[in-house]
A and B are shown apart, each in its own frame.
Chain A
Amino acid sequence: DAGVIQSPRHEVTEMGQEVTLRCKPISGHDYLFWYRQTMMRGLELLIYFNNNVPIDDSGMPEDRFSAKMPNASFSTLKIQPSEPRDSAVYFCASSWDRGRGGTEAFFGQGTRLTVV
């Protein structure tokens, strides 16, 4: 398996523009997570899905952020409109239920977003 695949790797956009980040989880994984990493706040969970259903979106900063998972092999994180404070590295991760609860999350390479 190729691992978790994120695109694009880098994105530079102007304030006010819509940004869409994409993720393909590892085949067979039924959990998908979106994290954001900044120097100030570290790694924060934004939202996660189980079997394509959003379970917890309490980490989504505000209504400008939305995430979807239309099927088991694809998810998007959208920011509309984008703001400079959204600049961060966004990670997608996936995992599965091994039955003992000790399942590690496998991370994608991340998308480095810069909003100017």
Chain B
Amino acid sequence: AQKITQTQPGMFVQEKEAVTLDCTYDTSDPSYGLFWYKQPSSGEMIFLIYQGSYDQQNATEGRYSLNFQKARKSANLVISASQLGDSAMYFCAMREGSGAGSYQLTFGKGTKLSVIP
């Protein structure tokens, strides 16, 4: 079974509107972390936001927020007030466990976001 599922291969959003990118995950470990990365057409991977499994509040970083629903095992990324520069691939990723052998990230397939002027 896939550990990270991103069901939206592509999304369109109007400039200045908000958009939600879906991510569901699968783990039996009570300790885990969820990450979102942005990959623009230039190719680099840019860290956006992190949510820990024990965090009580949803993470926010500027225009990015993470809608964390633990019981549903979902960690959707919300981008408010979309800008043209937000057009990119977005990857959800998970780290399972908290020990020294658990720092690797497992990535979803990604969602391509296109912002329309």
Main secondary structure of the interface of A (DSSP, over half): strand
Given contacts A45-B106, A112-B43, 14 further A-B contacts (CB under 8 A): A33-B103, A42-B110, A45-B105, A50-B100, A55-B101, A56-B101, A100-B98, A101-B33, A101-B98, A104-B35, A104-B47, A105-B35, A105-B105, A107-B47
B41: shortest Cβ distance to chain A, in Å? 13
Known: A42-B110, A101-B98. A106 touches B103 (CB 8 A): no
- Asked if A91 contacts B45 (CB within 8 A), the reply is yes
- Enumerate chain B interface residues (CB-CB to A < 8 A): 31, 33, 35, 37, 43-47, 50, 52, 91, 95, 97-98, 100-110
Main secondary structure of the interface of B (DSSP, over half): loop
A50: shortest Cβ distance to chain B, in Å? 6
A101 to B32, CA, bound (A): 8
Residue of A nearest to B96 (CB): A101
- Please count how many residues in chain A sit with their CB below 8 Å of the partner chain's CB atoms: 26
Provide the A87-116 mask, 1 if CB < 8 A to any CB of B, else 0.
001010101010011111111111010000
